[in-house]
Amino acid sequence: MKTIEEGRPRDVDLAAAAPLRSAEILIADRRSKAIHRIATDGTYRSRFAAIDAVKLAVGPLEEVAAIERETRRVVVMGSDGLPRPFPEPSSTYQMRAPADVAFDPLGHLYVLERDSVAVFTPTGELLTVFTPSTAGVFRTAVSLAVDLAGRLYVYDQESERVHVFH
């Protein structure tokens, strides 16, 4: 994929992408170690944030969640691209190695770990940690999504299955 940044074409090493309501797409580029705004016609718009992201999600109010490549920490940004660590450090929950992020229609942020899902309120407080009660439901989860009805989909790489939770 090629994009034009600052008037010159260059190759992009696409790590993640997420659509915005404004007819733009956010792309995480490994080469520049940043997230960029691209128009749906491919026109370069601007740099969104200087974060080397491996996963991206956009919430209902255009907030953006990303997982940083090196640190594996979750960062949440407003529409201005200014990041803040998410969640704020707490003694109640420590993320080990987030694998994916997704928002539900109400703005709750879901953070996938290999064997559990943490759910945070739109203001960043931990709401719950969901660990499937059935042993071995998922062991090496790598991806998740939340649909408009609030159903949670988790893809487990080891079993090659998508698990649906209501």
For the cut 90, the answer to whether the pLDDT of residue 158 exceeds it is no
Q: Is the dihedral of CA 163, 165, 98, 143 positive or negative?
A: positive
Closest by Cα among 119, 106, 111, 113 to 150:
106
- Cα separation, 33 vs 64, whole angstroms: 16
For 134, the enclosing helix (H) or strand (E) is none
Question: Which two tokens mark 14?
Answer: 């696409």
Residue 79: predicted pLDDT = 87
Query: Which residue is it, tokens 């790489």?
Result: 157
pLDDT of 4 reads 47
* pLDDT tens, residue by residue, 70-116: 999 999 999 889 987 677 656 577 888 899 999 999 999 999 998 88
User: Taking the model in full, what pTM does it have?
Assistant: 0.87
CA nearest neighbour of 107 among 127, 86, 92, 123: 123
